[in-house]
Amino acid sequence: MFSAGNRSSIFIMIEESILQKVNQWLDSPAVDNDAKETIRQLQAENEEQLVDAFYKDLAFGTGGLRGLMGVGSNRMNKLTVGKATQGLANYLKETYPDEQVKVAIAYDSRNNNKLFADVTASVLSANGIQVYVFGDLRPTPELSFAVRYLKCHSGIVITASHNPKEYNGYKVYWNDGAQIIPPHDKNIIECVNAIADFESINFAKDEELIQTIGQEVDQAYLDTVKNLSLSPEAVRQHKDLKIVFTPIHGTGVTMVPPALKAVGFENVTVVEEQAEPNGNFPTVPYPNPEEKAAMALGLQKAQELDADILFATDPDADRVGVGLKNNHGEWQLLNGNQTAALLTYYLMEKWAENKQLQGNEYIVYTIVTSDILGKMAEHFSVEHFTTLTGFKFIAGVIRELEGEKTYIGGGEESYGYLVGDAVRDKDAVSACVMFAEMTAYFKTQGLSVFDKLAEMYKKFGFYYEDLVSITEQGKAGAEAIQRRMVELRTNPPAVLAGQNLVEAIDYEEGTTTNLFTGERLVIDYPKSNVLQFVTDQGAKVSVRPSGTEPKIKFYFSVNEPLESKEDFDDTLERLKQQIEQMKADLQL
């Protein structure tokens, strides 16, 4: 099966390394018999799947481990989770040699999550680390909160976020409640890679070092969310706001309805068919609120009840999708940029109205999020920062500026938002609460959310964004994505939708290039495999491989002035046509 014939020596080397890993698993007493039998079946029946399962070790991406569940070094399973945890334990003990290290663990509704959480707790406790584990599934943002609340050195949440049901993941947090960033991520990877065999992993659970997290943390988290309120009177006036919520079979059901109730909203309906946590996500093809199909049952219930708002959270409740009626009475799903812009506008407007702006406030958003956020911040004399994609970078800015400046809010186009800094990751729970309060506040002014959206576009420019994600599976897919990035680097387009490209930004090289003069300047950003192209009309196209999924993503942003609210629909149609032409020009 592994004979190479006349194939290249590089391919022979790769095959030999795969064979070595396969034999390591077959020979190891740590691998159970069922797993070994699965490997033998793959050897006999499906070489392609065998190669994909073993051609590399599952590595930390933008959020930690994430991958398909199954046997193999490139899969989520007891041994890869155990190895990651042993490496993390070694690094924590090395970093804090004179302290009792403490780690908090949470998990969502995915299949095998309790197993992986138990494996994680076992390995940590076996290494003398104090472990706090939520007694039942809880949202990722509550884990981030718990790390700081319990004064832990680290945190782990078992989740694959919005990925399909076949996936699972393992996100690592540092003592500030944020996902790990350099140098900790690289150092942990080195410690993980230093584990030469499975016998080096200590699975001997120490029950005395494992403590269940109870209702105290739940209540503290809910109190923190409640204290974010900026318009309590508006909530009292519109406490009967009709809210439909779906957790899409995930953890949102544990915290979103209680949080809305704690703030004062009394008319919340949970979509019954999707209320039960279930790792098979039986009612949706893909548990991602960015996908319209995942919102279908929620939209149906919202229409049936003539609701004011629809919220849908992903399995670990760090992302939220929003639906509401537009000014034509039609139900519409907001995209992530629209929700981020509306929330940010509301926050800054209320901070100004409440005389809370002192001159040292700021917002943060990512380089692929709408530039309208920066325009709004300038209007309110609020500083704004942009970061690489990934909420850990937003949290990194909050950490760097803690005690010097005041964070108001921020977000990213992929449906992740954070209000206040008690949590250091995107938080769908507080985002639902704040969006509902915002809607109530606009109602007190006789305005709909879409009235405010048009007002915002008229004041700052009509910005419209879209996203194309191309999935490429397995080893061959990863190579195809890499080829596409190389092609765009070496042969960028000159014109998109009739607009001349004037600037190319390469975050991997750390340069920005003037495409007219050829002048190249250095930019002060961490290295990342992201390309951006800017046109002479202010449009922007960003391209990046996903750090958590086998995808390459194309982000489009176009804009033009909005002369009046009556021109909303016509302007939107022109912007959509621009993006469609850009897609065609890029052969997407």
Using CA atoms, how far residue 252 sits from 117, 239, 322, in Å, is: 19, 21, 14
Considering only CA atoms, which of 320, 578, 326 is closest in space to residue 463? 578
Our measurement of the distance from residue 486's CA atom to the centroid of its chain's CA atoms, rounded to an integer in Å, reads 26
Nearest to 248 by CA among 104, 343, 351, 110: 110
Residue 161 among the catalytic residues: yes
Q: What's the rounded Cα separation, in Å, for the pair 388 and 531?
A: 11
Reported for 444-451, long-range contacts at CB under 8 A and 24+ positions apart, including other chains, are 444/231, 444/233, 444/234, 444/237, 444/238, 448/325, 448/327, 449/324, 449/342, 450/324, 450/325, 450/326, 450/327, 451/327, 451/565
Token look-up 């680390």 returns 129
- 230 by DSSP, 3-state: which? coil
Token digits of residue 121: 């707790």
Give the integer Cα–Cα distance in Å for 441 and 344. Answer: 14
Rounded to the nearest 10 degrees, how much is the dihedral formed by the CA atoms of 497, 498, 502, 507? Answer: 10
Q: CB burial class (10 A; 0-12, 13-18, 19+) of residue 27?
A: exposed
Structure tokens at 112: 């095998």
How far apart, in Å, are the Cα atoms of 80 and each of 46, 57, 70, 119, 573? 22, 8, 10, 10, 48
| Helices and strands (H and E) in the chain: how many | 18, 23
Q: Quick one: CA dihedral 109, 113, 117, 122, positive or negative?
A: positive
Q: What is the spatial distance between Cα 424 and Cα 437, in angstroms, rounded to a whole number?
A: 22
- Give Cα separations from 427 to 114, 358, 433 (angstroms): 22, 26, 10
> Which is the catalytic residue, given 109, 161, 231, 542?
161
3-state secondary structure of 504: strand
Catalytic residues: 161
